Every structure is written in structure tokens, then in C-alpha cells.
Amino acid sequence: EHERTFVMVKPDGVQRGLIGDIVSRFEDRGLKMVGGKFMQIDQELAEEHYGEHEDKPFFDGLVDFITSGPVFAMVWEGQDATRQVRTMMGETDPAESAPGTIRGDYGLDLGRNVIHGSDHEDEGANEREIELFFDEDELVDWDQID
Ligand code: CMP
């Protein structure tokens, strides 16, 4: 399915200078960026974005971390974009991620895992997260460009 997916370089990835590498990987794979925003997430947006984890013991730490510095939020488009991005990111736990994946190449810490991508098993997660971070007029429609 040709689709859009939400992806975000987390504060640790930004601080370590990994934005360019991460963007390059998705470009090289053949996905198209249709939106990008360098921003700092506030408490309210963090709590909404991570709402499904509200009851987890790591929730407060997760919100503190994601609001601790700038992130680079993106929307990528392409064939099976959600699943492709998930595969390229690796497992949620970097320690379980294969070398060659983004988390497998750059991390070992479950909380500071460099990048977020929409869950492909959660129907609607993509559009929900895209809407949360972007207005529709901030997204490019490549079909309209000649
Ligand atoms: P992400 O894909 O952004 O979605 C939820 C995040 O919660 C996840 O990446 C991890 O960074 C974090 N997370 C998941 N499980 C734990 C945990 N047990 N302890 C700390 N952070 C966690």
C-alpha cells in the first residue's frame, strides 16, 4: 500500500548529529519526505503523543525525555512506508536491534532509542500522529509538482 508514515528523530538523535544520516537512509531507500519540522515538543503534545503509555511506569521519564530538547519530526511517503521505516529502525530496544538498522547502529538504551516511527500494527497510528504534529498545508503533494 502506498502510504504516509510519521517518523521523529528524538532528542538524543538530534544532539548526536544523526538527523542527516537518518534522512539519507530513508532517501536512499526510495521513500519521499513530504514534511519536516525541527521543533521542541511541549508537555501537552508529549502526553497526547504517548497517551497509550499513560499507565506505564516509564511514562513520566518518557515525557521528560521527549521534551528535553529539540526533535526532528517528519512524514515519509512510499510503498509500505510504515513497515519499511520500522524495519530500518530496528526493534524498540536498541540492544535487540540488528547492526545495519538505525537503532542497531547507534544505541543500546531502551529509553534513548534515537528515533520514533508509527506502529504498523496500530491501525490509524500514522494518520493520528501526522495530524498531531502537522497541518495538512505543511505537507507536500509530490504529484502536484512538475
Ligand atoms: P517509541 O517507539 O517512541 O514508543 C514508546 C517509547 O517508550 C519507546 O519508543 C521507548 O523509547 C520507550 N520505552 C518502551 N519501553 C520502555 C521501558 N521499559 N523503559 C523505558 N522506556 C521505554
- Is 16 annotated in some ligand binding site? no
Q: How far is the CA of 53 from the centre of ligand 1 (A)?
A: 9
Q: What is the pTM of this model?
A: 0.95
What is the structure's pLDDT at 123?
Answer: 81
- How far is Cα 47 from Cα 67, in angstroms, rounded to an integer? 10
Which residue matches cell numbers 525525555?
65
Per the annotation, the verdict on 53 as an active-site residue is no
Of all residues in the chain, what percent carry a pLDDT higher than 70?
99
CA–CA distances in Å: residue 48 to residues 18, 42, 53, 102, 135: 25, 10, 10, 25, 16
CA–CA distances in Å: residue 9 to residues 39, 74, 78, 93, 118: 11, 8, 19, 15, 12
Name the residue with the closest Cα to ligand 1, atom 5.
Answer: 50
pLDDT tens digits along 10-69:
999 999 999 999 999 999 999 999 999 999 999 999 999 999 999 999 999 999 999 999
- How far is Cα 56 from Cα 52, in angstroms, rounded to an integer? 9
The shares of helix, strand and coil residues in the chain, as percent rounded to the nearest 5, are: 45, 20, 35
For 2-144, CATH number out of 1.10.3720.10, 2.60.40.420, 3.40.50.800, 3.30.70.141 equals: 3.30.70.141
